[in-house]
Structure 1
Amino acid sequence: MAESRPMPRLFIVRHGETEWRHTGLSDIPLTERGKEQILASAPQFVGDGLLLDPKNICTALVSPRQRAHTTFHLLFQHIGTLPNHVLTEEVAEWNYGDYEGLKPAEIKALNPGWKIWDDGCPGGESVQEMQDRVDAVIKKVREYHRQYKEEGANTRDVLIVAHGHFSRVLISRWIQFPLCLGTHFNVEPGSLAILSYNHNSLAEPALNGLNIAAKLK
């Protein structure tokens, strides 16, 4: 019975720490601290009976940038197996276009009034393009969830390993807010967010947890 199945979830992991710049397409590595963040969280959150239980993960969508797929591999390396996954540009970072590789102060010098949430990225993705891409990902995830909840197909959860702006947009759109309200969600490097539903209803998407992470010493 659909009513007896626990509600499906979408887990979002932001990759670990990198050098702080606007890096959408640039393929930069994790810092050593970034690797430590993920390795500290992995045994607490990944494994049998834990939040990220591989037997519950229907699929994982992983950004092709090395900082994301390295994060994905580090999360699961202690259990020796990876869940079903695909590297896909669907969950890549916002394409920053002309601002790729620049620090915030450098962008401010070029365009003092720029706000990505309102203006998008010249030479990259507009606000509408970013919203359309994220909405398409949400539609795909919700179909996995519908099949599980209503038909007993697949397994319970979906995992996305991606980036800061992408994750903030996804959270905002998941709970049916305008994209621009993503500015109010702080998504820390190496952290886990949980999206699901209220009242046992797939029609009531909800934010269940944000910035879940192990504390580094």
Structure 2
Amino acid sequence: MTELYLVRHGETEWSRSGQHTSVTDLPLTDAGRQQAESLQGELHPGDFGLVLSSPRLRAVDSARLAGFTGDHEPEPSQDLVEWAYGDYEGLTSDEIRERDPNWDLWRDGCPDGESPAQVVERLERVISRVRDSGVGRVIAFGHGHALRALTLRWLDLDLTLGERFPLQTATVSVLGWAKGEPALLRWNASVQQAG
């Protein structure tokens, strides 16, 4: 049964400030580049039969800096992009709640962005592709909210639990199996914990 390694991209200016970033294609900060480079030696490209990445610069650069180049360069997948925040792009959660005090991304989605159902639909395609890949390990470089939503669907849990799964930049998580059931094998591991 295939294991799926998830890597959230390194730090950007907006991930540091807590601003919601989906379509804005920000580069990694110097700290984010160092975070991604620190994954070299912890993640061995040859261990993965399939390498996927969101096409956003921050995810692609994180993969490259982690050593996934040449024959191991990730295949871009539009299904791995971050949740489309629409009108909330670039805003922090506090700023969004000033507009809508009852807002909850996991329940409500974003105006002129994606609904939870739309996010689930595309991430279910990623899960199907991984489970049908026939390889032992897949790695996906992506974004905080989308990877959390993917994890919840892997585990067959409701998306409204997303806030309970914080995910830091440049961390490694592993989805797999336990006694034949989908399982969370590792979560939000820093480089020191990932190996």
C-alpha contact (below 8 Å) 1:68/1:161 kept by paired residues: yes
In the alignment, does 2:189 pair up with 1:209? no
Equivalent of 1:64 in 55, 58, 82 = 55
C-alpha contact (below 8 Å) 1:194/1:207 kept by paired residues: yes
Unaligned runs of 5+ in 1: 1-6, 48-53, 149-154
Tell me the equivalent position of 1:178. Answer: 158
C-alpha contact (below 8 Å) 2:64/2:73 kept by paired residues: no
Aligned-partner Cα distance in 1 for 2:55–2:3: 23
Q: What is the CA distance between 1:214 and its match in structure 2?
A: 2.3
Aligned-partner Cα distance in 2 for 1:36–1:113: 37
Q: Cα deviation per residue 1:150-194 (whole Å; 9 max; x = unaligned)?
A: xxxxx3111110000001101111111011112211111000000
Tell me the equivalent position of 2:3. Answer: 9
Q: What is the CA distance between 1:212 and its match in structure 2?
A: 1.6
Unaligned runs of 5+ in 2: none
**Larger of the two Rg values belongs to structure:** 1
- Number of residues paired by the alignment? 188
After TM superposition, the structure 1 = structure 2 runs for residues 1-217 of structure 1, keeping only pairs within 5 Å, are 7-20=1-14, 21-43=19-41, 45-47=42-44, 54-76=45-67, 81-83=70-72, 85-144=74-133, 148=134, 155-199=135-179, 201=180, 204-214=181-191
Aligned-partner Cα distance in 1 for 2:163–2:106: 7
After TM superposition, the runs of 4+ consecutive aligned structure 1 residues lying more than 6 A away are none
Q: Percent identity?
A: 37
Tell me the equivalent position of 1:4. Answer: none
Aligned-partner Cα distance in 2 for 1:179–1:107: 20
Aligned-partner Cα distance in 2 for 1:84–1:63: 12
User: Residue type of the partner of 1:46?
Assistant: L
User: Residue type of the partner of 1:193?
Assistant: S
Aligned-partner Cα distance in 1 for 2:13–2:101: 23
Q: Cα deviation per residue 1:82-139 (whole Å; 9 max; x = unaligned)?
A: 4253112110000001111112222122112111011111101011111111112111
